[in-house]
Amino acid sequence: MSILKKLASQTAIYGLSSVLGRMLNYLLVPLYTSVFVPSEYGIVTELYAYVAFLNILYIYGLETAYFRFSTKEKGNHYFNLAFSSILISSLLFSGSIWVFSGTIAALLEYPDKAYLIQWLGMILAIDAIVAIPFARLRQAGKASRFAIFKLTNICVNIFLNVFFIIICPQILAADLNSTVRNIYNPELGVGYVFLSNLIANALYLLFFIPDWLKIKLSFNSKEWKSMMKYAWPVLIIGFAGVINEMLSRAILKYRLPSEFYEGYSNLEILGIFGACYKLSVFMALAVQAFRYSFEPFFFTQAKEKNSPQVFSQVMTYFVLFGAFSWLVLCTFMPYYAPLFLRQESYLMALDAVPWLLGGGLFLGIFYNLSLWYKLTDKTLYGAYIGMIGAFTTFILNWLLIPIIGYLGSAIATFASYLLMVIVSYTWGMKHYPIPYQTIKVVGYIILAGLGIVIDQFTQKSIWKSVLIVLIFLTLSIILERKSFTRLRNS
């Protein structure tokens, strides 16, 4: 059981950096929603939705392929190969974005904001270039260094946002002749959101200077093809995940009938939904922290005889924690949401958040299940599952948005991830059987779901929410008391 403690320790470090980092970053949401009107915040929501798609394209599955191939051979050979490939492709992709930035901005109906497209191209290139160095930190178990780099980036980004959006306007209001005019342009507005991100990301290039000095650019076509054979289905899986998460924010403005929400434009509704979507970030944090530690963990642990039992126990603990988080976040949402969404209009989409949080839980379960096709080198099956999920997301968004608006997008996310979990579990038990505690796992999800339904459809009371959470905790402690004791004594 000590291996589970190690996994928990690594997850805790990644989780602390992710949670603390996102909590700090999340402080920007009250800032944005107090300064920018929904139509302005809609620009941020839409462009970052496209960035999420492009991030997957820029890395094209090589991060996971690196984990798989580097376990077969000591040294830096596969690191150099993966890094060289991503470096070349990133420069080509971002160079193209820069050249055609004017055309892209016009297509997105932002004809006077080509500079935002150029900045996003640079952000994407930096993110991709440092992806493999960050992956090596995870594989080497250097979670602390990983966390420090990520937290520093976030803190700098927050400082720059506050500086440009709050401090500079106040300085200019007090002194029109201030030297701040040399570095601040009031007309840039939401552009400072992207500029702050770009400057903060550029720090990554400085953080990895010792690594840059050791890298040897190399390319072996035969080995690269082997890595890409493993990686390209992972690319499809990544696209499916981003489609599930971001498609609604990419098409909501276009698919939503005009005047569907009286008094609001479609761009304003996109901004409102995007802001409420941010409340689902807390589930995403848990999933992200788990994924950072679990992916290198299962590639290493798979060699051990007791690995199926370990993987099963990890699944149970993850679902228990995830279901508990889903319940707590949903039942207490009316009390913390107004602290983050500072204008009343942003709160109108809160009814979509429980569906989004539930979808995040199923995404985490899917990541847990994904080990079967990654360990058996059958990533093509993962691509099939990803395409099933993406198709489901598209169809449900297309059908439901005109009928029930943004709520249709949230339900589509939930249903798509649930279907992917069912398909992956069914196929995985045939190709790489693991003795999951299925009844117990499903029971935790249903119990949390029932608690959320009861809380949503009865009179609001903080004491009622506390009681629901305590009932879940009591039942889970009773069911898991033996495994908790074994884990503590290991």
Query: What single letter denotes the amino acid at residue 78?
Result: Y
Distance CA 490, CA 484 (A): 10
pLDDT score, position 449: 94
Tell me, what's the pLDDT at 15?
54
One pLDDT digit (tens) per residue for the chain, 490 residues: 455 555 555 555 655 555 555 555 566 777 787 788 777 877 887 888 788 789 889 999 888 888 878 776 666 788 889 999 999 999 999 999 999 999 999 988 888 889 999 999 999 999 999 999 988 887 777 777 888 888 888 889 889 998 998 888 888 888 766 677 788 888 888 889 999 999 999 999 999 998 898 888 887 788 888 888 888 888 887 877 777 777 777 788 888 888 888 888 888 888 888 888 878 877 877 777 666 666 666 666 666 777 788 888 888 888 998 899 899 999 998 888 888 776 777 888 888 999 999 998 998 899 889 888 888 888 889 888 988 998 999 999 999 999 999 999 999 999 999 999 999 999 999 998 889 999 999 999 999 999 999 988 888 888 888 999 999 999 988 888 777 666 555 5
Number of folded domains in the chain? 1
Over its C-alpha atoms, the chain yields an Rg (Å, rounded) of: 23
CA distance 203 to 129: 12
**Predicted local confidence at residue 24, as pLDDT:** 59
Which domain covers residue 187, as residue numbers?
2-489
Rounded to 5°, the CA angle 46-382-433 comes to 140
pLDDT at 253: 80
What is the amino acid identity at position 133? P
pTM: 0.71
Cα separations (Å) of 303 from 29, 297, 307, 435? Answer: 44, 11, 7, 17
Closest CA to 147 of 234, 18, 263: 18
d(CA 38, CA 32): 9
Which token pair is 85? 């490939």
pLDDT at 480: 81
Q: Which residues fall within 8 angstroms of residue 120, CB to CB, at 6 or more apart?
A: 47, 50, 51, 97, 194
